[in-house]
Amino acid sequence: MLKWIDVLKFANNGNPPADQRVEKTEAAWEAILTPEQFRVTRQHGTERAYSSEMCQLFEPGKYACVCCDTLLFDGEEKFDSGTGWPSFTQPLLPNTIAYHKDRGQGMYRIETVCNTCDAHLGHVFQDGPPPSGLRYCMNAVALKKVATKERRATFGGGCFWCTEALFQQLRGVMDVKSGYSGGAFANPTYREVASGLTGHAEVIEVTYLPEEITFEELLVIHLTTHNPTILRGQRADKGTQYRSLIFYRTPAEQQMAIAAIAEVQKSLDEMIVTEVVPFAQFYPAEAYHQNYYAADPEKAYCQNVIEPKLQQLRALYGPRPNH
Ligand SMILES: [Zn+2]
């Protein structure tokens, strides 16, 4: 992982060589780029803040150089900086980006360029989130999103040992991680979250293929496999960290969540208290919390708490849920 000291070393002493080089004349670049892409990437321009929807795009996938298609960033490292420019906290590899001292516009900054084709991308600052502390402040027009089919959804529904085991049963779900979200600070520990005082909740991050299972199907399964009418936790697990949550990444997902709650509400006497909140960050839990049920289904908690929920899932959705 690169940190500010590494960035300074590269800017002062020279950058690591790129895996390959792409070089073209200015006229050749101009011929394949839009005028705005050309102005920013080849003439060190800066796009207007908030001019791109890419700032609010947090779907999984990679980001490539708009000029030469070299992959530069993973969407996992993207965060909402509130600056109006898409921001990342780490490049894909230590040698994908080159760093140069930039004394332009009365400031002393570190310019970032594509190490393959020298496209101007933006600047890097040392006020990013931990652990790297870096903020790559990028021009959206210098990047292009490389489509991936996988999508992510984040839910809270009580103890993550349970919700993780439930969603692992579903066809179309590629991966489920247990972790924390919704709290006041980054990278909380289980002990901190368990205090119930940090604002974090135990959540799961589900990676799924939308052709096989839709966000709407995930919502209904989520709402019908825990009790969404209890404010602070499920039967065996009490506390604000066990509250019922649906995180949305787009306005469309927010609407789908509200609609799903209204639909499930019809069959419940008690009021659903599930919070529908914008997704910000997911912090994976400690390794011993991952795959808790699958690692040893014979454990007492698995047998007494999780197994009945899996049976309920099968009763609701059949032996192969979602199929
Ligand atoms: Zn490039």
Catalytic annotation, pick one of 55, 114, 137, 302: 137
Half-sphere exposure of 302 (CA within 13 A, CB side): 12
| End-to-end CA gap in the chain | 41
Tokens (6 digits) for 127: 């006020």
How far is the centre of ligand 1, averaged over its atoms, from the C-alpha of 56 (Å)? 23
d(CA 26, CA 266): 63
**Mind listing the pLDDT tens digit for each residue in 214-237?**
999 999 999 998 889 987 766 666
Tokens (6 digits) for 272: 């659903």
Q: What is the mean pLDDT of residues 281-296?
A: 90
- Give the CA-trace dihedral at 156, 161, 167, 173, to 10 degrees: 100
How far is the centre of ligand 1, averaged over its atoms, from the C-alpha of 27 (Å)? 16
How far is the centre of ligand 1, averaged over its atoms, from the C-alpha of 117 (Å)? 4
Q: Which of 161, 156, 277 is nearest to 228 (CA)?
A: 156
Q: What is the mean pLDDT of residues 151-160?
A: 92
- Give CB contacts under 8 A, 24+ apart, made by 38-41: 40/120, 40/139, 40/141, 40/142, 41/66, 41/67, 41/114, 41/119, 41/120, 41/121, 41/139, 41/141, 41/142
Least confident span in 143-152, 158-167, 222-231, 266-275: 143-152
* Model confidence at 323: pLDDT above 50: no
Q: Which of 240, 210, 214 is nearest to 147 (CA)?
A: 210
How far is the centre of ligand 1, averaged over its atoms, from the C-alpha of 123 (Å)? 15
CATH superfamily of 4-146: Peptide methionine sulfoxide reductase. (2.170.150.20)
d(CA 112, CA 101): 9
d(CA 238, CA 159): 9
How far is the centre of ligand 1, averaged over its atoms, from the C-alpha of 143 (Å)? 9
Are 203 and 156 contacting, i.e. CB atoms less than 8 angstroms apart? yes
How far is the centre of ligand 1, averaged over its atoms, from the C-alpha of 114 (Å)? 5
Catalytic annotation, pick one of 67, 117, 159, 302: 159
d(CA 35, CA 266): 54
Contacts of 248 (CB under 8 A, 6+ apart): 254, 256, 257, 276, 277, 278, 279
Instruction: Tell me the CA distances in angstroms from 132 to 13, 121, 321, one per residue in order.
Output: 20, 19, 40
Cβ atoms within 10 Å of 271's Cβ, excluding its own: 9
* Model confidence at 295: pLDDT above 60: yes
> Between 3.40.50.300, 3.30.1380.10, 3.30.1060.10, 3.20.20.70, what CATH number should domain 151-317 receive?
3.30.1060.10
Domain residue spans in the chain?
4-146, 151-317
Q: What is the mean pLDDT of residues 112-127?
A: 97
Is-catalytic flag, 68? Answer: no
How far is the centre of ligand 1, averaged over its atoms, from the C-alpha of 49 (Å)? 22
pLDDT band at residue 320 under the 50/70/90 scheme = low
Q: What pTM was computed for the model?
A: 0.57
Q: What are phi and psi of 166, to 5 degrees?
A: -65, -50
Higher pLDDT, 191 or 235: 191
Is-catalytic flag, 67? Answer: no
